[in-house]
């Protein structure tokens, strides 16, 4: 299951997360993600913050924990999601691709809203969010706080629907501080 999750080779792990008040996340904040209840309850997670603050690492660490419990996890970059759906539509596999995403218990969407998307792309995303709403959580990493999402989407009606379904069903952590990559380099 871990191999299918599409994690980076560094092997993120909750035990290796640098917890600090100045980072915007403490160990106690993540306690809810150390048991499967958040998955069973399909409770979404949004990780925001500047480049390098550890959003993807934390998402992968939480995803790895879900894998160890036997849940299927898939991490996709926001842009890649739309590329894969377009390719599936071109080969007549679109509905199967949507079904696979629906059946993946924990879906990690990395770099949300970092690249422009069409109204059709966002309509597909809304379909995925709606299909998953009772089946499994969505973990989102993004540089944008939820309050800034709406104007970044081309269709206000779809933006309303996406924001309503995600923001009100999610725990939000805003990661802060210097780039973790910079800190890692200084420690070597």
The full set of domain ranges for the chain reads 3-180
Q: Which residues contact 28 (CB under 8 A, 6 or more apart)?
A: none
In the block, which residue shows the tokens 């007549």? 92
* 28 pLDDT higher than 70: yes
What is the rounded distance in angstroms from the CA atom of residue 133 to the CA atom of residue 165?
8
Task: Report which of 57, 75, 59, 44 is spatially closest to residue 146, judged by C-alpha positions.
Answer: 44
Distance between alpha carbon 73 and the CA centroid of its chain, in Å? 11
* Closest listed residue to residue 53, CA positions, set 176, 136, 171, 188: 176
Mean pLDDT, range 148-166, rounded to an integer: 95
Give the whole-angstrom CA distance, residue 95 versus residue 29.
37
The band of 114, judged by pLDDT with boundaries at 50, 70 and 90, is very high
- 108 φ, ψ to 5°? -105, 120
C-alpha closest to that of 55 among 2, 21, 17: 17
Predicted confidence (pLDDT) per residue in 47-68, tens digit: 999 998 999 999 999 998 999 8
pTM, two decimals, is 0.88
3-180 topology per CATH: Rossmann fold (3.40.50)
């Amino acid at each position: 299951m871990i191999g299918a999750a599409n994690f980076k080779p560094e092997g993120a792990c909750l035990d290796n997360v640098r917890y600090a008040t100045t980072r915007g996340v403490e160990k106690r904040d993540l306690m809810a993600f150390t048991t499967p209840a958040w998955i069973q309850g399909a409770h979404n997670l949004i990780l925001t913050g500047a480049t390098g603050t550890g959003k993807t690492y934390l998402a992968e660490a939480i995803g790895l924990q879900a894998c160890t419990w036997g849940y299927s996890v898939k991490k996709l970059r926001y842009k890649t999601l739309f590329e894969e759906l377009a390719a599936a539509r071109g080969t007549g596999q679109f509905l199967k691709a949507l079904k696979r995403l629906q059946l993946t218990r924990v879906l990690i969407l990395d770099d949300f809203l970092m690249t422009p998307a069409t109204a059709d792309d966002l309509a597909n995303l809304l379909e995925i969010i709606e299909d998953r709403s009772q089946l499994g959580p969505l973990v989102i990493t993004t540089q944008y706080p939820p309050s800034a999402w709406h104007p970044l989407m081309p269709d206000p009606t779809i933006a309303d629907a996406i924001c309503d379904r995600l923001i009100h069903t999610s725990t939000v952590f805003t990661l802060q501080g210097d780039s973790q990559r910079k800190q890692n380099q200084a420690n070597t």
